[in-house]
Amino acid sequence: MKVLVVDDDELVRMMMVQALKDAGYETEESVDGSDAIAKLESNVYDIVVTDVVMPNCSGMSVAEHVKNKNLPTAVLAVSSFADEEGGSLLDTMLYYADDTLQKPFDSENFLRAVRGLPAGSDVDVALQNL
C-alpha cells in the first residue's frame, strides 16, 4: 500500500512517515501541495495524507485534485487550524477528503485514522498473510 504524506512541517511529516513505515506501508513525501499534485500526476497512491494549511498550494487543492481527477486514492486531511468563524477547517475538508484528523495526534491515533480509510487496512491483511 503506497501512501503520499504531504506536510510543510518536517517534524510532523517525519513522524507520520515513520509510523506508516513501521506499520508496513510504503511512503513518499511532499513538502507542499504543488509538489504533491506533481507526484499525483505521475504516480499512483492508495492514500494521500495531507496537511490543510501549507505555503504555495494547500491541502484543499491536493484533495480537490484527487476528487476532480477521479483518482483511486483515499485522502486523509490533517490540520490544527480553525477557519474565520472558529470552526475547524477539517469540517470543510470533508467534502474532498475521506476523513480528517485534528492535530496534534499521536502515532496510534494517526494509524487508526489511516486504517479506517477505504483500503487503508489492506496492508494489515497483507502482512498477516506473509
Does domain 2-123 correspond to CATH entry 3.30.2010.10?
no
- DSSP designation for 15: H
Predicted TM-score (pTM) of this structure: 0.86
Give the end-to-end CA distance of the chain in Å, rounded to a whole number.
15
The domain segmentation of the chain, as residue ranges, is: 2-123
Q: Give the mean pLDDT of 113-122.
A: 78
Q: Which residue has the cell 504533491?
A: 36
How big is the chain by its Cα radius of gyration, in Å? Answer: 14
Taking only the tens place, the pLDDT of each residue in 2-44 is: 999 999 999 999 999 999 999 999 999 999 999 999 999 999 9
CB of 80 closer than 8 Å to CB of 102: yes
CA–chain centroid gap for 69, Å, is 17
Query: Among 73, 71, 91, which Cα is nearest to 82's?
Result: 91
